[in-house]
Structure 1
Amino acid sequence: MDKNVWGKTELVDRVAEKAGMTKKDAKAVIEATMEVIKDSVKDGAEIRLIGFGTFKKQHRDARKGRNPQTGAEMEIASSDSLSFKSSVKY
């Protein structure tokens, strides 16, 4: 993998090294953190990590779109997604 693009494996390696813990423990902490953020935001919470950024739910209204293969007009359902905005300090 490109040194400037990290996946979960690289993050686990760095967290384990920095915190002095096993990779297994670091992976468990990272996965638990991601799960808590995802579940909390899904339930309507906004997670603010001062100096890092904010996670929140973003709602997208239903809208009309086009099928790119046929050009036929179609209705795109409303949806919610996880949004992250980095801190100004970051």
Structure 2
Amino acid sequence: MSTLTKDVLVEMIRDKVGYPVKEAKEILEIILEEIKLRLEDGKDVKISGFGKWTVKEKRARPGRNPHTGEKIEISARRVVTFHPSDKMRDQVNRNQSND
């Protein structure tokens, strides 16, 4: 199984829609950049039938270095989570059971 990369997506857009590679790449970059900008602003991104990305705030908390056992402070940060839509989850599970 190969990894789905930006280059593969560009080729798919080119093949399925007939756009030249340069235009297909620009379209993909615009979409990805818009998603990134929304997430940077702390906004959710929802694509119907696909899923939803959400930014969550994590508080600072105590932790431990797994190599040395030393106690450390894990700093506060934001994390992005993805939740697939019910439709996506059902489709993935349906395809899994066919293997």
The interval holding the TM-score normalised by the smaller chain is: 0.7 to 0.9
Q: Shift of residue 81 of structure 1?
A: 2.0
C-alpha distance in 1, partners of 2:37/2:68? 37
Structure 1 residue runs without a partner (length 5+): none
TM-score (norm 2): 0.78
TM-score (norm 1): 0.85
Moved over 4 A (4+): none
Residues paired across the two proteins, number = 88
Q: CA RMSD in A?
A: 1.4
The residue that corresponds to 1:6 in the other structure is: 4
The percentage of aligned residue pairs carrying the same residue is 34
Find the partner of 1:21 among 16, 19, 22. Answer: 19
Structure 2 residue runs without a partner (length 5+): 89-99
The structure with more helix, counted as a fraction of residues: 2
> Which deviations, in whole Å up to 9, do the C-alpha atoms of 1:24-51 show, x marking residues without a partner?
1111111111111111122122121111
SS of the equivalent of 1:9 reads helix
**Larger RCO, structures 1/2 (Cα 8 Å, 6+ apart):** 1
